[in-house]
Amino acid sequence: MSEKIKVRTMAELAAEGKEPEILFWVGCAGSFDDRAKKITRAFAKLLNQAEVDFAVLGTEESCTGDPAKRAGNEFLFQMQAAMNIEVMNGYKVKKIVTTCPHCYNTFKNEYPDLGGQYEVYHHTELLQSLLEEGKLKVEGGTYKGLNITYHDPCYLGRGNGQYEAPRNVLHQLEIDIKEMKHHKENSVCCGAGGGQMFKEAEPQKEEIFVMRTREALETDPKIIATACAFCNTMLTDGVKHYNKEQDVKVLDIAEILVKGIKDTPDTK
């Protein structure tokens, strides 16, 4: 039997006269993609374990508008943003956490001009804080001896300068990261950004996800760590391209952490 995860909606809490400290913005991938749902569940388990006061919008959550904007439809982006801002401001949202760097970037850098002023966190930033505060405690030795590399998502790394939070979470698990040839400021896109996730790639000698996965595999990893559902999808496809899916796992930082936390059941 699958474990039940405690997640309440903003509407439920509002009906009780309560305002949670943090809105967990699940995002389109985390809501609808079967693989990304596992990331959502892992992060929700960690929030519950740390006793974070959070809620989700549920059916009131819509797309942030990032794909529309990157594809060139500014009008659609502003329509979607205005709707989301109206909903969140109605609930007096002040802090947002999301597992999606695209949502993170949009809330942090583009919503303020449209009336959406929020304190925005990527989930790796919040997880780093929870570990530092002792609200999450790791079980030593879970990943001892495993080669693990980490891929920097564009909108978290080069877009917002956040390179250390994901690495710090992995270091808390006593993981010695084997860096790829291109990492941090010199990292390479997984190939999904700019709306490319939703269309066929342009003809080229080698697709970006194949090249990026090759760099990851050169570190001889057992796990390729990611912090973005889009990156997870592209690198998983890359691992399959090289017929390495039996040897190499592609896991989000939250999925890696949830397996190394004391008193937290494994995520399935």
| Residue that is last in its domain, among 130, 155, 177 | 130
The tokens describing 103, both together, are 């949502």
Same domain as 169, residue 225: yes
**In this structure, is residue 1 part of a structural domain?**
no
Same domain as 220, residue 157: yes
Q: Distance (Å, rounded) from C-alpha 210 to C-alpha 242? A: 8
Residue 97: CATH number of its domain:
3.40.50
Same domain as 194, residue 106: no
Q: How many CB atoms lie within 10 A of CB 224?
A: 27
Residue numbers of the domain that contains 56: 10-130
Same domain as 232, residue 192: yes
Q: Distance (Å, rounded) from C-alpha 46 to C-alpha 136? A: 8
**In this structure, is residue 211 part of a structural domain?**
yes
Q: Which amino acid is at 22?
A: I
Backbone angles phi, psi at 193, to 5 degrees: -65, 165
Per-residue pLDDT of the chain (268 residues; tens, 9 = 90+): 346 788 999 999 999 999 999 999 999 999 999 999 999 999 999 999 999 999 999 999 999 999 999 989 999 999 999 999 999 999 999 999 999 999 999 999 999 999 999 999 999 999 999 999 999 999 888 898 899 999 999 999 999 999 999 999 999 999 999 999 999 999 999 987 666 676 676 676 788 999 999 999 999 999 999 999 999 999 999 999 999 999 999 999 999 999 999 775 444 4
**In this structure, is residue 82 part of a structural domain?**
yes
Q: Distance (Å, rounded) from C-alpha 125 to C-alpha 133? A: 12
The structural domain count of the chain equals 2
